[in-house]
Amino acid sequence: MANIKDQIKRNRQNEKKKARNNIFRSGLKSAIRNVKQAVEEGDKEKALNALNIANKKLDKSITKGLNHKNKVARKKSSLAKLVNRLS
């Protein structure tokens, strides 16, 4: 346990950030899972809607600093390929 006041505050801030990031990361995983489920069901319209939501969340993860832009680009590309195979 830290004795320094600034370090105690930094630990509190880190815990809050970690909780916020975990909530966002969980929502991101769910959005990606929804795209894959819609593709498995063969529902193109549902898959496109889920893809739009997933893309927004992936872009948001870059600005939040959770993911690197190249990882997000790769993920968006692979999801788009899945959806495009449905036609």
The three state secondary structure string of 6-64 is HHHHHHHHHHHHHHHHHHHHHHHHHHHHHHHHHHHHCCHHHHHHHHHHHHHHHHHHHHC
> pLDDT at residue 75 above 80?
yes
Residue 68: domain span: 5-84
pTM of the model: 0.86
Give the residue among 16, 19, 21 at the shortest CA–CA distance from 60. Answer: 21
Domain count, the chain: 1
| Per-residue pLDDT tens over the stretch 3-40 | 999 999 999 999 999 999 999 999 999 999 999 999 99
Q: What is the CATH number of the domain that holds 73?
A: 1.20.58.110
> pLDDT at residue 87 above 80?
no
| Per-residue pLDDT tens over the stretch 47-68 | 999 999 999 999 999 999 999 9
